[in-house]
Amino acid sequence: GIYDWRGSWTLSLLLGYLCYLLLGAAIFQLLEKQAEAQSRNQFQVEKLRFLENYTCLDQYALERFVQVIMEAWDKGVNPTGNSTNPSNWDFSNSFFFAGTVVTTIGYGNLSPSTEAGQIFCVFYALFGIPLNVVFFNHLGTGLRSHLATLETWGHQSRHYQVVQTLSLALFLTLGTFLLLIFPPMVFSHVEGWSYGEGFYFAFITLSTIGFGDYVVGTDPNKHYISVYRSLAAVWIILGLAWLALVLPLGPMVLHRLMHLWQLNKDPGSKKGIGPEADGLSHPTKLPIAI
């Protein structure tokens, strides 16, 4: 019976997963396909206008030039501007790239073009990604040891419960502001994006999705400070570390706020919440998901 239950649950989860993917595909197609077609048509119109204005060029020469531009873009060279554009491989940019490798963000706008660089990138990621995982797991271990002291939360006084819950809520609020709300303001100011675009970049980055449609420090018409992308890499590391700490804290804070609200609503109820009220048996530890 247990195996039958697990099999049916696995099948249901698989079907739900596939349905979620199908739903996302349908919505993305509905939202983006028409805009892509318009952009494609507009590009073809611009090519025809260019050939009409410069009759010395033929279709083959123009297509060859477009191919050269695409190859330069694939190698991380911005086709706008000139040869005086800042290097993509100075130390600050290289540090930023190293951070995107070990965190598996991989924007895709920049990659090694030499065979030696590609081979080194393979071995660098081979050792760097596990090191990154160990680092965040170590943070989770530290949090786990801290939460071990909180397992007696339900046996403490009501004043202690309120102070502890407010402290956790304050930690979540400050982290959200410093790592998710404030950085998009900076990116919007420096890059000339809207706040929505900056927030979109921040979320796509810290979730390690890394589409590469928005990347900081790539506009050749702007003069960035030398450590700009290095600071962005530090923000990425801190943001990922904060998320690793927040994931187990969020449900805990919500549960305790609900319990404190129930205590205020019914002052005659018991002051503490035991393991049974938590929905956990006495020996069960608090779950930590890193």
**CATH (domain of 239):** 1.10.287.70
Q: What is the pLDDT of residue 161?
A: 67
Q: Is 40 part of a structural domain of the chain?
A: no
Q: For 38, list phi and psi in degrees, rounded to 5.
A: -65, -40
Q: Is 36 part of a structural domain of the chain?
A: no
Structural domain of 189:
58-265
Percent of the chain with pLDDT over 70: 74
Number of domains in the chain: 1
Is the model's pTM score more than 0.85? no
pLDDT at residue 290 tops 60 = no
Q: Is 189 part of a structural domain of the chain?
A: yes
pLDDT tens readout for residues 146-190:
655 555 555 566 666 677 777 777 877 888 899 999 999 999 999
